[in-house]
Structure 1
Amino acid sequence: MPSHASKLSRRAFGGVVGASATVAALGTTPASATVAERPFRAAPGRSAKRPNILFILGDDLGWADLSSYGAPHIKTPNLDRLARQGVRFTDAYSGSATCSPTRFSLYTGRYPGRTKGGLAEPIADRSVGLDPNHPTLASLLRGAGYATALIGKWHCGYLPDYSPTKSGWDEFFGNFGGALEYYSKLGLGGEYDLYEGDVREGDAEYKDLRYYTRILTERASEYVRRDHRGKPWLLNLNFTTPHWPWIADGDEEESAEVVRRIKAGDGRALFHDDGGSVEKYTQMVQDLDRSVGQVLKALKESGQEKDTLVFFASDNGGERFSYNWPLSGNKASLQEGGIRVPTIVRWPARLDGGQVSHEPVFTPDWTATLLEIGGARPDRAHPLDGTSLAGYLLRGERLPERALFWRVRGERAVRRGNWKYYRGKGGKDQLFDLSADRREQADRAADEPKVLAELKAVWERTDKELLPYPA
């Protein structure tokens, strides 16, 4: 235990878990790949009860940051194993290019621009958030009999008006803001940002000043081991790793320096502009992998592995030190590197392992999918923008070709089939054939004017349905 841990949580050690593929889309074979993947094929006819849902998000993790996605220098054996046991998606996307809009799209199953809070890219103050009256993945599943919990990063609004417990989650333990220092738990405004429900730990009888990823891993392990009295459960486990600041477990001196700067009024201390390295980032990603492995071990030991759907992805593309090759762009951009994310799904009772899917899918699809699998009906007054993948995954149905839509300030994008329409901040309409050019370097707009016009019209029709950005 680090020397600066004081008055640890009364449950801090209750769930302690001991610390302990051929990539067809890339054309490379990572060292971790020991079993060749086969194209995805559903196994219909199997019966299973409604699954528990363990939905894990990494934070700013790049598309190729896992060894099973081609990273040559990052070792992620636990996530690689998860991929071998389930389905790895090569063309999966986040709902937006930054933290909170993607979370809005996951929690509501709708484009971020349908709600005022989703227009913030990302939320940086207390003026907006996820309306507690808006139905969510958690509230709809809870209405269908699920126990619900969110552990980790919320980033969809601040108290007193917004919180997970106001939006359908029975339990919350984590941080409200977009980033925090991993040991002190100080947020962007210098506040202590670790809460149990809607009560800040610093206002209660204890603080937990250990490394944040350790704490979240323990809490999640305790939750999956718990007796839920026959109810299926939804756990949103939102790690902050590997989001800045670039502080790995054990970096207490670097932590102390960042804290000193925060307390001195340095508003950019948490951005860690002068910190980090490829080596430090590698440590953080590998720590995330170990942490996921510990939670999955707890799940297996609980006897619930077969009947639990485990989902892993990132909330958006990678940042400064991420490995995104061959994609262009990073977090905040609608180029592939800003929105294409590693995505793995495992459900032993219904899905065969060792499979890979190249179908284009994005965050709102998973909301629709989980609601259908969990037996919850979407709210008619708030229609979903995602398409349920349950038929494709479980019944062998063909996934219809449709347009995936993105909008951020100054950029626009649509993907339909292999074609992607993109306009960046320079204002030029571009068209890319992603089946031949995932790096988005060969602009086919002049060669395919009809396709360009069709996708541009799709984007503009959808944009008209959304709220305008505030001036």
Structure 2
Amino acid sequence: MAVLLSVFACTVKASDRPNVIIVYTDDQGFGDCSALNPDSKFKTPHLDRLAEQGVLFTNAHSSDSVCTPSRYGLLTGRYAWRTTLKRGVMNAEGKCLIKDHQQTIASFLRDQGYATAMVGKWHLGMDFPGTGPQTRDWTKPVQDMPLDKGFDYFFGIPASLNYGVLAWFEGRHAKVPPTLFTAKKPNQRHVDYRIKPPYQDTPEQTRKALGKRGMEVAPDFVDNQCLTRFTDKTIEWIRSHQQNDQDKPFFVYLPLTSPHYPVCPLPKYHGQGECGGYGEFMIETDDHLGRLMAYLDQAGLADDTIVCVTSDNGPENSWKQRIKDFGHRSNLHFRDGKRSVYEGGHRVPMIIRWPAGIQSPGRRCDALVGQIDLFATLADLLGQPIDNDQAPDSQSFASALSDPAAKHQRLPLINHGIKGRFSVTEGDWKLVFPHSGSGIELYQLANDPSETKDVAEANPRRVDTLRQKATRIVVDGRTTQGPRLSNDTGYWPDLTWISETQYADGR
């Protein structure tokens, strides 16, 4: 029987519509995965197993170096700087950055017959009932949120834990409404903060107790429960789907809250690894991924389920302290971290496993790819076209999964920093544009991945070529071939290398 099962496992064929799970970690640096960092001070065995069974991408990039715009780019295949969000991130409350008519990976896959679910952190804007704590009516539904953007099911939180309106939302309602108030509390295991009881009845009471005006929180909300609840709900939803509609493929978007602040590992992880609370939190994150993978194995779903694990940007600023205290480099050898336009801000771990569809698993792919390309890649694997006005910056890298010998050539890839600075990468060359007193910079990443030597002065033609290509991507409203599209706004000052006339004329 064991032999027969082994033979069967080797001959499993990929279906036309595989299940898809995207696990999106939060502020996980390139060096926070032991498969990518042999000197890591903690181990991530489940991430490593995914890499052994799939493809480990060593040159993958989030579309921005902070949270909201990266999530927008992943889900829509469009750069967030094309929207009204030119810098920074959104609050928990506000008009959703994804417009009603805009396709997402979820709505696209739902149109292909998929059941779709999102479990975790949204951070793209929600319309809550009322205009603030004094006018809330939590019996009314939340609008302009995941259920309006292609997802059949939602369980999660609106944004990062420091933005408030913290409750366990399921569907359009909070399971327990956020009627109390709190602020950041000291964290004994890290340099950041905690969000945990006791909570106060009014913002003024929170200010008196903690020195800061309170943000909305539910009585039952505790920060260190996020990872457990999100993993449990994901498994619960998949199990229910399999029981009720197993002939229908599924898509799950699972954006976790770790290792973003607050770094709050459960007590069972205390003392594990050699990197303090941060290492403990990454070990816990990896364990929850292992729980999900174990369920897929148990349910017989692993072979024909695409699992992609990646991070929304590079590591938080505490990466510097970890080098001093523990000798651990969350950004590996790359320059800077979260918020930066340099490699440490947006070069992130990305692993894709699909036993039935990936040829020669256990390999590394050094080709330049972006998370923004996941939309087109999934459409390509399904053999379904994307409308010309949708996912305009997404380019398929499906060939890198199906053909180990494929030479994937990425169109110029734009990256973006929290203060609006741009860069463009093509092949081994990266051009960083002038901004806020800093001049233009050129790096040859193959020889200088740490971006230590600016070679712009010695390569004026390369600078000019990359500048022209980046200009075209901006003014055309797209990276891929197709009719010119409009950005959502007129010219803005961060386009330091493009004049207002060029922007208006489209040249």
- After TM superposition, the score normalised by the length of structure 2 is 0.73
Please name the residue that 1:442 is paired with.
453
Please name the residue that 2:250 is paired with.
233
Secondary structure, counterpart of 1:84 in structure 2: helix
Out of 153, 165, 169, the position equivalent to 1:171 is 153
Please name the residue that 1:368 is paired with.
376
Distance 2:315 2:370 in 1: 16
CA distance 1:106–1:334, shift in 2 (3 Å) = same
1:162 is the counterpart of 2:144: yes
CA distance 1:335–1:470, shift in 2 (3 Å) = closer
How far the C-alpha of 1:111 sits from its partner, in A, is 1.2
Does structure 1 conserve the Cα–Cα contact (< 8 Å) formed by 2:95 and 2:127? no
Structure 2: unaligned runs, 5 residues or longer: 1-11, 129-142, 179-217, 320-329, 478-486, 495-507
Secondary structure, counterpart of 2:234 in structure 1: helix
**C-alpha deviations, 1:285-333, integer Å up to 9, x for none?**
1110001000000011110100000100001111123411200111111
Please name the residue that 1:22 is paired with.
none
Please name the residue that 1:326 is paired with.
333
Please name the residue that 2:412 is paired with.
403
1:359 is the counterpart of 2:371: no
Out of 251, 261, 272, the position equivalent to 1:244 is 261
Does structure 2 conserve the Cα–Cα contact (< 8 Å) formed by 1:201 and 1:207? no
Secondary structure, counterpart of 1:203 in structure 2: coil
- Count matched residues: 395
**C-alpha deviations, 1:113-152, integer Å up to 9, x for none?**
2333x43521125343222221111001101100000000
How far the C-alpha of 1:249 sits from its partner, in A, is 1.3
Does structure 2 conserve the Cα–Cα contact (< 8 Å) formed by 1:102 and 1:112? yes
Please name the residue that 1:421 is paired with.
431
**Higher deviation after alignment, 298-307 or 396-405:** 396-405
**Higher deviation after alignment, 199-208 or 365-374:** 199-208
1:340 is the counterpart of 2:347: yes
Distance 1:80 1:403 in 2: 30
CA distance 1:400–1:313, shift in 2 (3 Å) = same
Does structure 2 conserve the Cα–Cα contact (< 8 Å) formed by 1:59 and 1:315? yes
**Higher deviation after alignment, 353-362 or 191-200:** 191-200
CA distance 1:155–1:247, shift in 2 (3 Å) = same
How far the C-alpha of 1:376 sits from its partner, in A, is 4.0
Does structure 2 conserve the Cα–Cα contact (< 8 Å) formed by 1:278 and 1:321? no
How far the C-alpha of 1:50 sits from its partner, in A, is 1.6
Aligned letter for 1:293? G
Aligned letter for 1:197? G
Give the share of equivalent positions with the same residue, in percent.
Answer: 31
Does structure 1 conserve the Cα–Cα contact (< 8 Å) formed by 2:308 and 2:350? yes
Distance 1:383 1:215 in 2: 31
Q: Please identify the structure whose Cα radius of gyration is greater.
A: 2
Secondary structure, counterpart of 2:257 in structure 1: coil
Aligned letter for 2:464? A
How far the C-alpha of 1:224 sits from its partner, in A, is 3.0
**Higher deviation after alignment, 461-470 or 217-226:** 461-470
Does structure 1 conserve the Cα–Cα contact (< 8 Å) formed by 2:92 and 2:123? no
Aligned letter for 1:153? K
CA distance 1:201–1:120, shift in 2 (3 Å) = farther
How far the C-alpha of 1:453 sits from its partner, in A, is 1.2
1:279 is the counterpart of 2:253: no
Please name the residue that 2:232 is paired with.
218
**C-alpha deviations, 1:393-422, integer Å up to 9, x for none?**
225654234210123434110000000001
Does structure 2 conserve the Cα–Cα contact (< 8 Å) formed by 1:100 and 1:122? yes
Aligned letter for 1:406? N
Secondary structure, counterpart of 1:213 in structure 2: helix
Distance 1:416 1:426 in 2: 25
How far the C-alpha of 1:426 sits from its partner, in A, is 3.5
CA distance 1:410–1:385, shift in 2 (3 Å) = closer
Runs of 4+ in structure 1 deviating by more than 4 angstroms, as ranges, are 204-210, 468-471
Secondary structure, counterpart of 2:386 in structure 1: coil
Aligned letter for 1:304? L
Does structure 2 conserve the Cα–Cα contact (< 8 Å) formed by 1:95 and 1:364? yes
Distance 2:120 2:357 in 1: 28
Does structure 1 conserve the Cα–Cα contact (< 8 Å) formed by 2:376 and 2:391? no
**Higher deviation after alignment, 436-445 or 207-216:** 207-216
**C-alpha deviations, 1:366-411, integer Å up to 9, x for none?**
1110122234432333352111112332256542342101234341
Please name the residue that 1:54 is paired with.
21
Does structure 2 conserve the Cα–Cα contact (< 8 Å) formed by 1:414 and 1:422? yes
Aligned letter for 2:20? I
**C-alpha deviations, 1:250-306, integer Å up to 9, x for none?**
399xxxxxxxxxxxxxxxxxxxxxxxx951111111110001000000011110100
How far the C-alpha of 1:94 sits from its partner, in A, is 0.4
Secondary structure, counterpart of 2:300 in structure 1: coil
How far the C-alpha of 1:112 sits from its partner, in A, is 1.1
Distance 1:206 1:149 in 2: 26
Aligned letter for 1:453? D
Please name the residue that 1:122 is paired with.
89
How far the C-alpha of 1:364 sits from its partner, in A, is 1.3
**C-alpha deviations, 1:189-241, integer Å up to 9, x for none?**
3x333200110121399946561111111111223333133111100011001
Distance 2:300 2:442 in 1: 49
**Higher deviation after alignment, 52-61 or 392-401:** 392-401
Secondary structure, counterpart of 2:264 in structure 1: coil
Out of 453, 463, 466, the position equivalent to 1:452 is 463
Secondary structure, counterpart of 1:342 in structure 2: strand
CA distance 1:450–1:46, shift in 2 (3 Å) = farther
Pairing 1:28-107 to 2, within 5 Å after superposition: 48-70=15-37, 71-107=39-75
Distance 1:383 1:313 in 2: 19
- After TM superposition, the score normalised by the length of structure 1 is 0.79
1:196 is the counterpart of 2:207: no
Aligned letter for 2:453? A
**Higher deviation after alignment, 145-154 or 393-402:** 393-402
Please name the residue that 1:266 is paired with.
none
Does structure 1 conserve the Cα–Cα contact (< 8 Å) formed by 2:64 and 2:313? yes
Task: Indicate the RMSD between aligned Cα atoms, in angstroms.
Answer: 2.6
CA distance 1:47–1:309, shift in 2 (3 Å) = closer
Secondary structure, counterpart of 1:53 in structure 2: strand
Distance 1:394 1:166 in 2: 33
Secondary structure, counterpart of 1:151 in structure 2: strand
Pairing 1:113-152 to 2, within 5 Å after superposition: 113-116=81-84, 118-119=85-86, 121-124=88-91, 126-129=93-96, 130-152=98-120
Aligned letter for 1:315? D
CA distance 1:425–1:221, shift in 2 (3 Å) = farther
Does structure 1 conserve the Cα–Cα contact (< 8 Å) formed by 2:338 and 2:344? yes
CA distance 1:251–1:463, shift in 2 (3 Å) = farther
Does structure 1 conserve the Cα–Cα contact (< 8 Å) formed by 2:167 and 2:177? no
Pairing 1:375-386 to 2, within 5 Å after superposition: 375-386=383-394
Please name the residue that 1:255 is paired with.
none
